[in-house]
Amino acid sequence: MDEINNLVESMKDELVKSVQEVVRIKSVMDEPKEGMPFGEGVNKALMKALSISSSLGFKTVNVDGYMGYAEYGEGEETIGVLGHLDVVPEGSGWKYPPYGGEIHDGKIYARGAIDDKGPIMAALFGLKAIKEANIQLGKKVRIFFGTNEENGSNDVVNYLERDKAPDMGFTPDAEYPIIYAEKGILGFDIVKYLDKDIKNDINIKYVEGGNAPNVVPDTCKCAMQIHDDYIKQNVIDDLKKYIEKTGFDINYDEKERDILFSSKGLSAHGSQPELGENAIMMFLPFLKDINISDDLREFVEFLVCNIGMDTRGKELGIDLKDETGELSLNVGMIKIDSCKAAVSINIRYPVTFNENDVMDKLKSKAESYGLKIENLGVAHPLYFPKDHPLIIKLQKVYKEQTGLEPELLSIGGGTYAKKMPNIVAFGPNFPGKAAREHQTDEYVEIEDLIRNAQIYGNAIYELAK
């Protein structure tokens, strides 16, 4: 509606000022305090957002310090816009102060400017425009200020224990147009307990690689001790042949009786492991073919023969696929010492399948090698049918407001929408713009901020009318 758009335009300065006020508060998770489950900074940001909301004339509610919301309108049903005020640490190397909210070249620079303080304030001002225009809504609207999105979303967990989920809504915490499908995520360890009394010519002191299960590891290190010089020379010769055959970037160094190995790969996000080069899986085939102890060999053999450099789960028979994409598998971390061998795996599976479709096969295969699955965690897929009213309405608004095709996206990652039922990710990043969240020099373009407030105002109206 032009009316909403014009009113947003007229509130531009006030919106910019409000965003500056909230980004100037450092809201990184910290020690809990009384009534402040995620620490003082996060609580200060929540208080600021609620005071801005009430100065705009909205009723506000603070839900135990875990979350707050601004509310407008009456009705049986509730429309929710779910954003968050907590931020990840700023890191170093900023060209402007990370909590300064300075404006340069039409951009507000600050940690949280695009993730997610700017966008949730934009939604608040979109709702303000509806209120200013005296537009009657048939439903209640809540703008949610989450405070724990970056650290487990316990804000939403707490809210759902107190109140029911909105009937429909969106989160301005990803990208445009609309993410209708988010793959399921499985995280787990595959473990073998080793018999440390077994004596072997080649003694593996440790293997260590990767920093997180959901990142493709770019290094893997190993130390082995070999007392027999003849065997030691053979291992080094085998390594040279292996490098020649594969072209992998593996180095070694001799230190007294030890050989220290290190392989180098290429890091990538765990939801797109095919874009990386897995340093762990580069090294393991070499280990498999030298004379290591039998129980460790079983562990290594399982990984090399059933996964290898493949990232789709083909050998395991779990290469699932549907209209939302293919399964992806990342071997993110490895840790072997004298008692235990373990890898951490991260799998993203397409939305029409469930965790058993993946885990049943994987588990029985692993068990046939004497391995165990431990620490299994599941984030279920998110999926809205393409003809769901929420999807249709947001597509209509997006097309009207931007003139762009409201294409529906499927992603391997998980957004805030996964935590709250009936919510879908909608913006704030426009197609073709670089991702800025969690990065140095994070900013929001003021023009985009205003466009977001207009789109969100119209979306709220469309959903709540």
- Catalytic positions, written as ranges: 86, 149
Nearer to Zn ion, 117 or 128 (CB): 117
How far is residue 99's CA from residue 342's CA, in Å, rounded to a whole number?
Answer: 41
Nearer to Zn ion, 115 or 277 (CB): 115
* CB 234 to Zn ion: min, Å: 53
The answer to whether 442 contacts Zn ion (rule: CB under 5 A) is no
- The structure tokens listed for 261 are 């190995």
Nearer to Zn ion, 173 or 277 (CB): 173
- Burial (Cβ within 10 Å: 0-12, 13-18, ≥19) of residue 425: buried
Residue 416 carries which DSSP code?
A: G
Q: How many residues does the chain have?
A: 465
* CB 149 to Zn ion: min, Å: 5
* CB 108 to Zn ion: min, Å: 16
Nearer to Zn ion, 116 or 155 (CB): 116
- Burial (Cβ within 10 Å: 0-12, 13-18, ≥19) of residue 94: middle
Which of 327, 222, 219 minimizes the C-alpha distance to 273? 327
Nearer to Zn ion, 90 or 115 (CB): 115
252: left (phi over 0), alpha (psi -120 to 50) or beta: beta
- The structure tokens listed for 437 are 């969240």
What are the φ and ψ backbone dihedral angles of 165, each rounded to 5 degrees? -65, 150
Which window, 56-64, 108-116, 195-203, 391-399, contacts Zn ion (CB under 5 A)? 108-116
> What residues from 111 to 150 belong to the interface with Zn ion (CB under 5 A)?
115-116
How far is residue 82's CA from residue 143's CA, in Å, rounded to a whole number?
Answer: 6
How far is residue 98's CA from residue 346's CA, in Å, rounded to a whole number?
Answer: 32
Please work out the total of residues on this chain that contact Zn ion, with binding judged by CB under 5 A: 3
Which window, 107-115, 234-242, 248-256, 451-459, contacts Zn ion (CB under 5 A)? 107-115
Which of 331, 314, 295, 68 minimizes the C-alpha distance to 190? 331
Nearer to Zn ion, 149 or 277 (CB): 149
* CB 117 to Zn ion: min, Å: 10
* CB 208 to Zn ion: min, Å: 31
Letter for the amino acid at 168? Answer: M
* CB 302 to Zn ion: min, Å: 37
> What residues from 168 to 227 belong to the interface with Zn ion (CB under 5 A)?
173
Which window, 96-104, 165-173, 370-378, 419-427, contacts Zn ion (CB under 5 A)? 165-173
What are the φ and ψ backbone dihedral angles of 142, each rounded to 5 degrees? -125, 130
Q: What is the per-residue burial (b if ≥16 Cβ within 10 Å, else e) of 124-153?
A: bbbbbbbbbeebebebbbbbbbbbbbbeeb
Which residues contribute to the site for Zn ion (CB under 5 A)? 115-116, 173
